[in-house]
């Protein structure tokens, strides 16, 4: 899910977070509601089955996250659109370390009930793109979410350092929201190895997408799980508005994806993982001989943070 920069006009405070690490002063946090993902079990699996849940309250985690994104747009003739191969999009990579702490969620009558409150502090941010943008001033960016034991997130909160420049705010906020757009929510039912379940969710921001994530439980232990991931995305809106006020309809949408995640039930983030998503949307009208092809590539990587010497 993407959260527009305009949400920073809201004045809502971080709640239920008792951990305040040293670092640069941050602005008053802002919050945005998160639509609950719909979970559907396709196959309960085999062998010993149990209800999976996070058991990470009062734990800490040091993690490294990398996000690589690319976008390209081509305008082609209808006759060649179906087999047209888009060129490699310009890509940019945002990377940072995260220190996470999970506490017991406090009761809040104004928010969806939750059992866990994850609070994270970002450090050592870097950005590699065609534009020379400096994100170092975003060191100390804070964010967090409320969630239940199954992983269902109900709200996202962000607090940028007061000293962060506009580039750092925009780039790091986008990366944080992309990170949280990959919800890992377990079913309420008992499942075993080989289980398959889907999550239907919505990504928010500049281009709202409907996303179906399919998880397969490849391996289950007492302390964690190995998941394979398949993702399908499609535009939530059925048309693209042009600068002249005209509209192009969504004629087709395809997604290719692959991914694997290693989950430790005592940690709020995957301890390792790689996810690769390529989505292409075709716009046009039945009467037009022109097609607009928009291709988006997204890669996410989770790994343990490097140990300081």
| pLDDT 10s digits, 243-266 | 777 788 999 999 999 999 999 999
Pick left, alpha or beta for residue 195 (phi over 0 → left; psi -120 to 50 → alpha; otherwise beta): beta
> 5-304 belongs to which CATH class?
mainly beta
| pLDDT 10s digits, 24-83 | 788 878 877 687 899 999 999 999 999 999 999 999 999 999 999 998 999 999 999 988
User: Cα–Cα distance between 98 and 223 in angstroms, integer?
Assistant: 22
What proportion of the chain, given as a percentage, has pLDDT over 70?
89
| pLDDT 10s digits, 181-221 | 888 999 999 999 999 999 998 875 456 788 999 999 999 99
Residue pair 54/149 in contact by the 8 Å Cβ criterion: yes
Whether the full predicted model's pTM is greater than 0.95, yes or no, is no
Provide mean pLDDT across the span 154-168.
92
- DSSP assignment letter at 238: S
Residue pair 76/284 in contact by the 8 Å Cβ criterion: no
Rg (CA), the chain: 20
| pLDDT 10s digits, 268-308 | 999 999 999 999 999 998 888 999 999 989 999 999 998 75
Residues with Cβ < 8 Å from 196, sequence gap 6 or more? 41, 42, 43, 45, 214, 215, 216, 217
- How many C-beta atoms lie closer than 10 Å to residue 66's C-beta? 17
User: Cα–Cα distance between 24 and 26 in angstroms, integer?
Assistant: 6
Which pLDDT belongs to residue 204? Answer: 58
User: Cα–Cα distance between 55 and 69 in angstroms, integer?
Assistant: 32
- In the chain, what are the domain boundaries? 5-304
Provide mean pLDDT across the span 116-123.
96
| pLDDT 10s digits, 16-35 | 444 444 567 888 788 776 87
| pLDDT 10s digits, 126-138 | 999 767 688 999 9
What's the pLDDT band for 12 if we cut at 50, 70, 90? very low
What's the pLDDT band for 96 if we cut at 50, 70, 90? very high
């Amino acid at each position: 899910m993407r959260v527009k920069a305009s949400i920073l006009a809201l004045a809502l405070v971080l709640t239920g977070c008792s951990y305040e690490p040293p670092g640069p002063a941050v602005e008053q946090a802002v919050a945005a509601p998160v639509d609950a993902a719909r979970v559907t079990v396709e196959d309960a699996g085999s062998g010993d089955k149990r209800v999976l849940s996070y058991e990470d309250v009062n734990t800490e985690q040091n993690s490294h996250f990398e996000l690589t994104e690319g976008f390209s747009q081509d305008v082609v003739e209808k006759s060649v659109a179906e087999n047209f191969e888009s060129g490699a999009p310009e890509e940019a990579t945002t990377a940072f370390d995260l220190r996470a702490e999970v506490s017991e969620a406090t009761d809040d009558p104004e928010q969806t009930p939750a059992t866990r409150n994850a609070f994270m502090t970002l450090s050592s941010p870097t950005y590699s793109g065609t534009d020379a943008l400096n994100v170092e001033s975003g060191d100390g960016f804070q964010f967090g979410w409320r969630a239940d034991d199954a992983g269902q997130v109900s709200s996202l909160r962000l607090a940028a350092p007061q000293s962060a420049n506009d580039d750092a705010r925009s780039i790091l906020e986008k990366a944080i929201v992309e990170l949280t757009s990959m919800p890992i929510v377990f079913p309420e039912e008992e499942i075993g190895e080989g289980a398959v379940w889907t999550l239907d969710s919505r990504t928010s921001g500049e281009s709202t997408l409907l996303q179906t994530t399919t998880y397969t439980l490849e391996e289950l232990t007492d302390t964690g799980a190995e998941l394979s991931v398949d993702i399908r995305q499609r535009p939530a809106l059925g048309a693209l508005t042009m600068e002249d006020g005209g509209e192009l309809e969504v004629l087709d949408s395809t997604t290719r994806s692959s991914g694997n995640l290693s989950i430790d039930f005592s940690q709020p983030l995957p301890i390792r993982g790689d996810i690769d998503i390529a989505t292409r949307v075709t716009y046009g009208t039945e009467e037009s001989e022109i097609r607009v092809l928009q291709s988006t590539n997204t890669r996410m990587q989770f790994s343990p943070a490097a140990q300081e010497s």
